[in-house]
């Protein structure tokens, strides 16, 4: 992020009317209709932070429990002590705190029989926020109680939102092997930013809308990569397609001046993590942003930018590693006079199968990167054998078989997890389920799952591809062979999965056709 993040407070102009914020939910639990009516009447015009009150009514503790099961966002509950029995209200409070584990809702205990629930004992023994006798609940007292409890609820909700958002940022930044890791990190940043500003987000925390925009110079494209609130549908779209005109204009203003723009309720943060990339964070809240708010966002984004740039660097390094692995695999393929996208297809098949079998995203991604080196050992096979168009003689085939152990020995020297996984793949992808494969004659589940997956992925692709010594097989013949070799050559579980997901396999075949 550039050091110069001067704020530009743009001239005021008319903006579209901001949508109404959702009401605060207040639960009244009392078996007397009159108490409900008086409370509603006294607070009918109550507004806190531009949000009105939505009353929810329960006439017994049991009814309140059912309501609370479906409304976890109730801010305040006024609870009578004596209802269907003398301790119904206290039992309800215990249920809320101990069973529902709801520590956010503010609980105000009300009683017309203080002798049944002495104030000192109740406050000491129960997690309540206020204790009132019904005789003292004047209009002014109700107003004061509502104001203080809502302030408390707002602050606790903000802390909880901050905790959840921070956890999302930490989790996203640690999941380096996820294909959409960068988008996940940006989405978490938006949610954390909402919490930092102490506002409420539509999608997670209530009322706030935010967008993350990316512009890549090489593509000449401005794209929405993450969003919350009403802009979620714009994710993946060009800037011009889904966003309102006023939002579009202020974002382009920030891109043009390469600086932060603040206008009323809107904040647009600009940073440039690399020469080829510009990023925008747009935030719109339900209240105007003060200079303190803007400074807070600026500080937050400066700190986030460090992690963001590290993620981009890690992404670039991993992308380079993947490309180098593919190029190595393709170089070996070319030396074998097998032109095309064989190693890319095997990588994609392997990833698809791994995910389908229940391997973790990380394991599947490692296998995807490692599998292109399954024939790495062929670099040590003489050209006369490697390029022979006809069937190999027995002694020639014995030499050819050494490529498996040779690939394993070359790759296992590395301490890198991907190359160690590639060594497993190179050494075991010619093993067979019944133990008749090579180089070790390993059988069943003693063959590493990576080897079992790449074995079927390699054969599936090789049979369907043109080679110097054969024409491609039709799909029906390939599937018949897999069925026939189920439990002998191939792991039966993997065969069953492939046979039930043929369309997904052939989509990969079509996506990476052989070069003509």
Which residue bears the tokens 């590493």?
A: 448
Beta pairing, strands 24-29 & 7-9: unpaired
Query: What 3-state DSSP class applies to 186?
Result: helix
* Residue 479 contacts residue 464 (beta carbons within 8 Å): no
Q: With 0-12 CB in 10 A as exposed, 13-18 as middle and 19+ as buried, what is 472? A: middle
Beta pairing, strands 209-216 & 221-228: antiparallel
**Per-residue b or e along 300-331, where b marks 16 or more CB atoms closer than 10 Å to that residue's CB:** bbeebbeebeebbeeeeebeeebeebbebbbe
Instruction: Give the DSSP H or E segment for 492.
Output: helix 492-499
Helix ranges restricted to H, 178-267: 181-196, 239-242, 245-257
Token pair in block for residue 411: 């790759």
Torsion of CA 489, 493, 494, 496, to 10 degrees: 100
- Distant-in-sequence, close-in-space partners of 480: CB < 8 Å, separation ≥ 6: none
C-alpha closest to that of 51 among 289, 286, 290, 229: 286
378: annotated active-site residue = yes
- C-alpha 4/C-alpha 6 separation (Å) is 6
- C-alpha 233/C-alpha 226 separation (Å) is 10
- C-alpha 152/C-alpha 284 separation (Å) is 24
- C-alpha 148/C-alpha 513 separation (Å) is 67
Phi, psi of 289 (to 5 degrees): -85, 125
Which residue bears the tokens 């013949």?
A: 477
Catalytic residue (one of 180, 378, 393, 420): 378
DSSP class of 207:
S
- C-alpha 430/C-alpha 440 separation (Å) is 9
Helix ranges restricted to H, 177-238: 181-196
Which residues are part of the catalytic machinery?
378
């Amino acid at each position: 992020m550039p050091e110069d993040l001067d704020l530009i407070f743009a001239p005021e102009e008319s903006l579209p009317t901001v949508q109404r914020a959702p009401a605060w939910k207040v639960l009244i639990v009392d078996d007397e209709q009159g108490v409900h009516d008086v409370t509603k009447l006294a607070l009918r015009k109550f507004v806190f932070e531009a949000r009105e009150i939505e009353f929810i009514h329960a006439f017994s503790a049991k009814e309140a429990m059912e309501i609370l099961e479906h409304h976890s966002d109730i801010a305040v509950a006024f609870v009578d002590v004596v209802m269907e029995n003398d301790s119904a209200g206290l039992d309800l409070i215990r249920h809320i705190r101990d069973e529902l584990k709801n520590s956010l809702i503010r609980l105000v205990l009300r009683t017309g029989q203080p002798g049944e629930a002495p104030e000192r004992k109740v406050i000491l023994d129960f997690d309540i926020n206020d204790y009132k006798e019904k005789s003292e609940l004047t209009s002014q007292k109700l107003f004061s109680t509502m104001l203080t409890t809502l302030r408390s609820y707002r602050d606790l909700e903000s802390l909880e939102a901050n905790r959840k958002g921070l956890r999302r940022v930490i989790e996203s930044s640690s999941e380096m092997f996820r294909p959409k890791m960068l988008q996940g990190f940006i989405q978490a940043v938006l949610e954390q930013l909402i919490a930092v500003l102490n506002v409420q987000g539509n999608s997670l925390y209530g009322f706030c809308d935010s967008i993350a925009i990316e512009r890549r110079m090489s593509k000449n494209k401005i794209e929405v990569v993450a969003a919350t609130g009403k802009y979620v549908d714009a994710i993946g779209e060009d800037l011009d397609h889904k966003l309102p005109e006023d939002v579009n204009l202020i974002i382009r203003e920030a891109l043009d001046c390469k600086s932060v723009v603040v206008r009323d309720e809107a904040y647009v943060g600009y940073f440039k993590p690399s020469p080829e990339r510009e990023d925008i964070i747009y935030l719109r809240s339900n209240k105007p942003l003060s200079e303190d708010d803007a400074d807070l966002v600026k500080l937050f984004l400066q700190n986030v930018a460090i992690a963001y740039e590290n993620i981009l660097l890690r992404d670039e390094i991993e992308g380079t590693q993947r490309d180098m692995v593919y190029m190595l695999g393709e170089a070996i393929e070319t030396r074998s006079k097998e032109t095309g996208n064989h190693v890319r297809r095997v990588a994609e098949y392997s990833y698809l199968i791994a995910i389908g079998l229940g391997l973790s995203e990380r394991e599947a991604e490692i296998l995807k990167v490692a599998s292109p080196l399954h024939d790495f050992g062929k670099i040590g096979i003489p050209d006369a054998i490697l390029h022979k168009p006809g069937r190999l003689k027995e002694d020639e085939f014995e030499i050819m078989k050494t490529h498996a152990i040779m690939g394993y020995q070359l790759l296992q020297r590395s301490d890198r997890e991907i190359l160690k996984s590639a060594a497993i793949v190179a050494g075991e992808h010619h093993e067979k389920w019944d133990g008749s494969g090579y180089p070790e004659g390993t059988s069943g589940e003693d063959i590493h799952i990576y080897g079992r997956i790449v074995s079927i992925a390699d054969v599936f692709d090789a049979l369907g591809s043109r080679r110097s010594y054969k024409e491609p097989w039709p799909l029906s013949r390939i599937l018949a062979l897999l069925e026939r070799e189920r439990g002998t050559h191939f792991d039966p579980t993997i065969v069953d999965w492939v046979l039930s997901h043929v369309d997904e396999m052939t989509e990969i075949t079509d996506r990476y056709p052989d070069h003509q």
